[in-house]
Structure 1
């Protein structure tokens, strides 16, 4: 029983990160129907810039976190201005724009490699890593902060989309961009907000998960894949379904690694996704979210 609780906590921790990336991917997809293959690199930028601001510059933690968020927002604006906007203006198809975001991811990881090198670096923790016991559970504040951030950011996304007028603009742009534009909505601003909000979410995830995984410039690729898997499993059309898919992947990964080997985790997860897509092509919750809206 104790092992199950440990694996469940590990799965929730990793799944929260995958879920946040899946949520970010789905949010951008909902505004412009493209997959941002640089999404995981926002997590990498968050973790590595935390090293720069907290260790190299020795800034106070609140100031450093604000600087990290500002950095990932600038990276999101750079991706939107330098890749998405020029290609969209020239009428490029979605596949071309997605390849452009992949090129942006390669440029980001290459630039980070020149700055920080290939080795794994220590990311300073914001919360204590000392073990604490909560009933049958042994954890630490950093793990609890990751799960808590997942819940808070998920709630914030729900409130933004369904309880604000701007959220209505976002959903209208995702459903019918041409009609939304005729109604006075500016799709370009909605898309820009999608890039920036998703970058902020991923940057916060990088700051929180960095102390547990370590900071490495190559971490963005793997996290992008895991986030994409989460979005496909849960349902790419809904940020909340994608977040649920991330939790499912994290828990399954933890149990497979705990009772078997981590080498089998990804093949089993891909097999599960294939089976789900054969039965439910829109993901586990995709049809439900579409019907609800």
Structure 2
């Protein structure tokens, strides 16, 4: 015997599940933001502004998403016309997600720019920025156009949705590949540095994979099931995945870290002469976070305060 809600299961169910993930990730983001500001990081003002901006946008997005889900699932319960006359807040999903994703992608492209310090790195960073702008603009266009067509014709907006989601996916992949290349270039003969780079490599892959997979899944669901709300499940929380990845990267540092205090990150290759123990028998090297300390046998100490490749970047 069929239940009353089954004809609309693929319309109501995805919104309910997406809303749960949306609120859960917002809670995680609030906690991460609290940890960030209570940790005493001496970051540049624009980094702190980025954190506040993404949090603010995500709070607004949660309000919009909750309003849309409430209108459809609660106030519209039992009325099939609800699915043909969606509330205006339902059209903000791609707009808000695309905007937050672009902000986070801008941050990572900046990090590639200052870490890579090569023409290739500069070109890749610019490409990432352009792709981020493209996907954000496409998300805005998709959200606006969806408001003026019936749900059964949403599939006609496949180009806009494809550019938005494929752009997010492509930018994430570029970020991951670029960071892996930069880390690989800085591997050398010091076991401690190589071990640290290996840990950074795993973190880069994990953080980049989360957002890339989510964007890819949403794209596939939209292409295959555009007349339902199944693709809206990841759309409801995609932006918060980006924000949480940003905060997770910023919060993996020690207190009073100054990695982002000047807007410049310096990378010293482990092959640099100052780290060549064989050529400097009187020195032993100890890597400690963003500061490299060299002690000689006489007890004197030489300290290089310029941030080096560390677990903080």
Task: Calculate the TM-score normalised by the size of structure 1.
Answer: 0.27
Larger Rg computed on CA atoms: 2
- Judging by fraction of residues, say which structure has more helix: 1
Structure ranking higher on relative contact order (CA contacts 8 Å, 6+ apart)? 1
Task: Calculate the TM-score normalised by the size of structure 2.
Answer: 0.26
